[in-house]
Structure 1
């Protein structure tokens, strides 16, 4: 019997990712996605023992119904599987300054997550729904929350503060928080192993690149700066998010062009980024196809993505002083050798030289250095956020 299994839940506003993970070795027993919540075509797909399966959910299903289906129709059908669970681990997007590490769920934790919901309204409310549904499904199992923002809580004030009236920080908690902490933490640990350096001596720049994207500067194993801000809207060009812009653009659109605040925020969150620039898709694979076909706007989107990323990476030489490696991760970071090439070519002032054979080989879950011998190191490390969540849940349970 395996007594290190953790059910990992990642609840979004209209979807739910789930996995059953061996916290000891990272083996994934089950993984899946429930999506289209509150719509007639709510559905679920999952992978178990190499098999891919799918099912419709009752019309307009949401978190509770999805978790109930996962437990009753998938997990409990595997003989003895549920009995091996030691905890349920929940990914929480925003913990504000309340949560600097993973914690065991109680009423005060749920209240704290709800208090932080104004900082991530699409996510935190959904996380609470997921926690409550999991508590109903597994009333005797410990529930553990793991926060995206926690890894970044080691940033110094000079990095996380905005140049706004200080009272806005003290009274309203307006500051940089950062996201993708579990991913940046995972690749930091893996980079230390790969480079044979103690964790407390590793300096890397971690680039988590997907539909959401962020960069983190990690000095002596701890985050000292990151590109996302108070919310996930800031920083890099993303799938549908604009990243950094002049804040006066919002005032211009509202007071001079008649947009509502809600309308502008919808544009910045859902209609911008790669989608807004290219006009064809937020999916980077489609952008790359357009680039290969000579589509001018797809080319512009790809070049803007690469340029903004390279600028952020270059700027993080300031807090780090010494860079042991640039690490690419996430769906785009792990799979697009073209983006890695373009970014490193923009960083030739630092001496980076791409080994194209190694670069093209580092994909589909393969880890490896992608620069030539003698060049500063850039590498690909596939992320595993679910394993981080499972490991944290296991550590907290072991301490009970």
Structure 2
């Protein structure tokens, strides 16, 4: 199967630039997720790959073929939309075979492909029903089946789970992951849901404001975010941020002084940091532990207690008025307005310089 290459791709609508000079390589058989907030350009980029939007500048290649000037039907891609777009007057079989009949594929080949896709998706018993006679999850499977029968080089999914309830979203997510193992094609999946991105992707493309913020594996994105946007968008709750003053700590690592006077001993190599005028400390809730007053680096007042079963999130107002989110045990006894201590795990600390570049703890003898 071929890989996909985007070279300096740009898209404008009138005076507005919606995709700004984006370059990206997708490996054969890779599951790539485009993740970002509404309006960041991720769906537009997907539609450009599909041929549903024109490319104003740059090139799109699938394997050794440049495809940005080809019609959608010539690109060997198949798209699954957020809305199923099934023909209500046709049976499931007719919906799945419609595109193949349009290209005049022999009937025997059409039947073979439809039956194989229906078996793969476990919808064989639905082939003679119409869309109005099946559930939303089953209609989504039909839409996926309609893509499978095309035997494309590339599957494109545009927020396909958005219309499903929570339980069905989890099940369909698993089915899409299993489908990827069975088909010999790359997949690109667009979502604003970080859980979908983290659980499905080989690599995630985090997009913001028309551009790519970071590309990496799910854990690279989560544990070594390139910018404060990535750090705040990926992870629940969002990363805590605070301006800090730096000083040299033990073993060549830096220590960070928070506005309330608390000192966080990081594992970030001082020699790796640029000569910036200002830094922000970023640290996730799982690196902040609730403890008795006097046993942590700082103290505060519990402003909100969010019980999640396996863990409890405590929103703590510090002496300088800022609020941080820290973790406690699932059976936490902390109550609203309690005074609590907060202990920082400096190994989980990140620093962001005045160019918004992330710097992270030393791993395997190196730091970034």
Bigger CA radius of gyration: 2
Q: TM-score range by the shorter chain?
A: under 0.3
TM-score under structure 2 length normalisation? 0.25
Whose strand proportion is higher, 1 or 2? 2
